[in-house]
Amino acid sequence: MSTLLHVIALSWLAGLAAFAGGMAARLETSSETPRKRVLIHGVVAFGGGVLLAAVALALIPEGIANLHPLALTTIFLAGGGFSYAIDLAMARMHGSGAQLAALLLDFVPEAVSLGAVFAHDRRTGLLLAGFIAVQNLPEGFNAYREMRAGGIAARVGLATLLGASLAGPLAAGIGHLVLQDQPALTAAIMTFASGGIVYLVFQDIAPQAHMRRQLRPPLGAVLGFALGMLGTALLH
């Protein structure tokens, strides 16, 4: 199998983890008990922790290494502003898709990176694919529940996650064919996504993880960040 086909297959498998998370949320039909609500809030926090780990340990370091500080800051702020504009438009349309937006903002630049690095270092590429899959699983779970809470039909929600998984092969293919020798452009994409992720985490995801008179759900964020930190350590 050619390197390009390897990249496409790995990135799609990583993307399908989001669909698997959505399926898990679809099949989870137990009653809404207080214990279950604590667990769900913990899963949301876990996803937020993994996203913060991706920003702090995987995305931004590439920007720092390859971009001028002024460019780095400008691109990061532009990413946050872009997410704000999308969030504002969705609020006006009474939409709810912060979890899905966060999933794509994380998944796409990391898939680009997977495609760009795989030809030079297959071990790092394989570990990165596994890291992306672990991130996508809780994000898909949370995105499906958010879509259902917003009135989107179960079939449409799952189809949306399945469609989102296809962004991985496309992004990874572009990264492999176009960005292997363009570290600054790759870093700019990752930095732009980082700004958007930070906005979404603090605007939408972190508030959903909070529960009155419950102190345990935020521990999910600690676990998520720890997992991201472990994945990054394995990559090095």
Strand partners, 214: 211
In residues, how long is the chain?
236
- Alpha-carbon gap, residue 191 to 151, rounded angstroms: 33
pLDDT tens-digit map of 164-207: 999 999 999 999 998 888 889 888 988 998 898 898 888 877 87
Residue 77 belongs to what domain range?
Answer: 3-235
Q: What does the pLDDT read at residue 80? A: 93
Number of domains making up the chain = 1
109 with 189: CB under 8 angstroms? yes
Q: What is d(CA 36, CA 33) in angstroms, rounded to the nearest whole number?
A: 5
What's the pLDDT at 190?
A: 86
DSSP conformation class of 216: S
Over 70: is that where the pLDDT of 93 sits? no
pLDDT exceeds cutoff 90 at 8: yes
Rounded (10°) CA dihedral 158, 160, 162, 164 = -150
pLDDT at 133: 87
- Start-end of H helices in the chain: 3-27, 34-53, 60-66, 69-92, 98-118, 122-149, 154-165, 167-178, 183-200, 206-209, 219-235
Q: Is it the case that residue 95 has pLDDT exceeding 70?
A: no
Looking at residue 94, its pLDDT comes to 59
Residue 101: is its pLDDT beyond 90?
Answer: no
Read off the pLDDT band of 210 (50, 70, 90).
Answer: confident
Of residues 232 and 79, more confidence is placed in 79
Q: Is 151 left (phi over 0), alpha (psi -120 to 50) or beta?
A: left
Instruction: Find all residues with CB under 8 Å of 121, minimum gap 6, and list them.
Output: none
pLDDT at site 96: 59
Contact present, 228 and 135 (Cβ < 8 Å): yes
The residue ranking higher by pLDDT, 125 or 1, is: 125
77 CB contacts (<8 Å, ≥6 apart)? 195
Average pLDDT over residues 114-118: 84
| Mean pLDDT (whole number) for 146-169 | 92
Higher pLDDT, 45 or 208: 45
Task: Give the largest CA-CA distance in the chain.
Answer: 54
Q: In the chain, what percentage of residues exceed pLDDT 70?
A: 96
Residues 6+ apart with CB under 8 A from 37: 211
Q: How far apart are CA 135 and CA 72, in angstroms?
A: 25
Under the banding of pLDDT at 50, 70 and 90, the label for residue 87 is: confident
Of the listed ranges 38-42, 55-59, 210-214, the least confidently predicted one is 210-214
Structural contact between residues 4 and 177, judged by C-beta atoms closer than 8 angstroms? yes
Mean pLDDT of 223-233: 83
CA separation for the pair 230, 175 (Å, rounded): 24
Q: Give the pLDDT band (50/70/90) at residue 79.
A: very high
Tokens coding 79: 């990413």
pLDDT of residue 17 exceeding 90: yes
Asked if residue 1 has pLDDT above 80, the reply is no
Residues of the chain with pLDDT > 90, as a percent, come to 28
φ, ψ for residue 7, nearest 5 deg: -60, -45
